[in-house]
Amino acid sequence: MACPTSSARQRQAQAARCLPRSDVEQAEESCPEKHWIEVRLVKEPDRSKRPPWWPSDRLRDYRDEKFTAETPIGLLEEETERGGAWRLDDIPAGACTFEFDRFFDDIIEYFRTKSV
Separation of first and last alpha carbons in the chain? 84
Closest CA to 77 of 90, 64, 92, 89: 64
Vertex 37 angle, CA 63 and 96, to 5°: 100
CB of 93 closer than 8 Å to CB of 72: yes
- β-bridge mates for residue 18, sequence order: none
CA distance 23 to 62: 54
Q: How far, in Å, CA of 43 to CA of 71, rounded?
A: 25
Tens-binned pLDDT, residue by residue, of the chain (116 aa): 444 334 555 555 555 444 455 555 555 666 678 999 999 988 777 788 888 887 776 556 788 889 999 999 999 999 999 888 999 999 999 999 999 888 778 788 888 887 65
pTM over 0.85: no
Which amino acid would we find at residue 81? E
